[in-house]
Amino acid sequence: MHNIILIARREYLERVRTRSFIAMTFLVPALMLGLTVLPTYLATHGSSQSKHIVVVASDKRTAELIQQQLSKESEEQKDQPAGDPQGFENRFRIEKLNVDVDLDTSDREQTALIERVKQKELDGAIFATKDALAAKKVLFITRDVSSFAANEVIQASVNRAVRRDLLASKGFSEKEIDNALETVDLKPQSPSGTRNPVVLFFAAFSVMMILYMSVFLYGISVMRAIIDEKNSRIMEVMLSITDAKEMMAGKILGVGLVALTQILIWAVVVGIASSTALVASAGMLKGIISIKLLAFFAVYFLLGFALYSTMYAAVGAMVNSEQEAQQLQVLVAAPMILSLVFMANILQSPGSNIAMFASIFPFTAPLIMLLRVAVQAASPWEIGLSIGLMIAAIYGTVLFCARVYRIGILMYGKKPTLPELMKWIKYA
């Protein structure tokens, strides 16, 4: 045990003193802040703009109804606050909307308006002709075809205007029309009170990515340390005072403590930012980033790191260079990569059989089960079974990889074949 502590201490101090550790400790929170808060800020504050649109219709009433509805939408958005800490309802804001009416539905006029849009004299032209309304296909010419939020606002306004015109033609009063067109606000909410599914997605995604990056990067760090010491023959000197199992355990423990140190610093930074309201979206994480989730993050980080770093240590012992290791490390990381591939599907159906199996299977459990815990879709027995199977898998992996590690750290030359690996495991 004394040798394990000495090796772990050496690995820990050697890494926390490097410039790369200091740089990553401060750059990763800044990067995460930029990827989460900045898009939210731009979506709620930086997307205001002025638009000039022409409505082309066969009759004046239809054109004026669309004009009024678009103007009303613009006025309502002006009265709304720029940011909403509870959600992303104000994804797009039209600061000023100028709407003109054109009753000329000829092909010549349509060509002229399209040309004006091309020349940036207009932001858009809506062709709500009689034939278009009958076919339920209104043409909207705009340069900003990729501006989904803005086009959604305009589409909703046109639909409301057309429906209002239809209801009025049936003899409904203005009050009855307003009541019929009033939308029902459906807000998804989990039993624990978490309301916003968009925030829930980003919170779960962020926690999952932090775990993935930590396990992946620090597992590779264990592998690289073994390759470097193997090539420099330091490994032979170290084996004169300790055995292979203690060396592997010490390296995994030391690098694991480095990872925990960095994650703890990130957690403190996030905590300070949230408590002092340095980030506008901090309030959205209430009820999502909980003590329970952080506790499970720590559990699955430790289990996931122990599982994967042991396999990376075996890979480092088997090869002689990082070029050789690249082929094998892809196989080791494959379950984690598959977890990311299926993440969106599992978020859509966190209670499906695929999600349940992936959250219990030891090699995908660290990411998938943490994701299901974040969206509160995992039952206690599933979590318990997942942790139990991971511990069993870690025990079996340690026995397997320790045999490979014991012989591989002193092997030089070509990369071993599968039959040779079987011999190592048999005779180690």
The per-residue pLDDT for range 255-310, each reduced to its tens digit, is 888 888 887 887 777 666 655 544 444 444 444 556 777 788 888 888 888 888 88
Report the pLDDT value the prediction gives residue 177, as an integer from 0 to 100.
Answer: 80
What are the phi and psi torsion angles at 87 (to 5°)?
Answer: 180, -165
Q: Two tokens at 246?
A: 């203690």
Q: Two tokens at 60?
A: 């004046």
CA distance 43 to 76: 17
Domain with CATH 3.40.190 in the chain: 47-181
CA distance 95 to 195: 28
Report the pLDDT value the prediction gives residue 89, as an integer from 0 to 100.
Answer: 43
CA distance 336 to 163: 50
94 — pLDDT class (breaks 50, 70, 90): low
- Contact, 83 vs 191, CB < 8 A? no
Share of the chain above pLDDT 70, in %: 76
**Closest C-alpha among 375, 288, 216 to residue 36:** 288
In the chain, the N- to C-terminal Cα span, in Å, equals: 21
Average pLDDT, the chain: 76
319 pLDDT more than 70:
yes
- Contact, 393 vs 307, CB < 8 A? yes
CA distance 382 to 373: 10
Mean pLDDT lowest among 37-46, 128-137, 365-374: 37-46
3-state secondary structure 130-160: HHHHHHCCCEEEECCCCCHHHHHHHHHHHHH
Q: What is the pTM of this model?
A: 0.64
Phi-psi region of 417 (alpha: psi -120 to 50; beta: other; left: phi over 0): beta
CATH 3.30.70 is right for the domain spanning 47-181: no
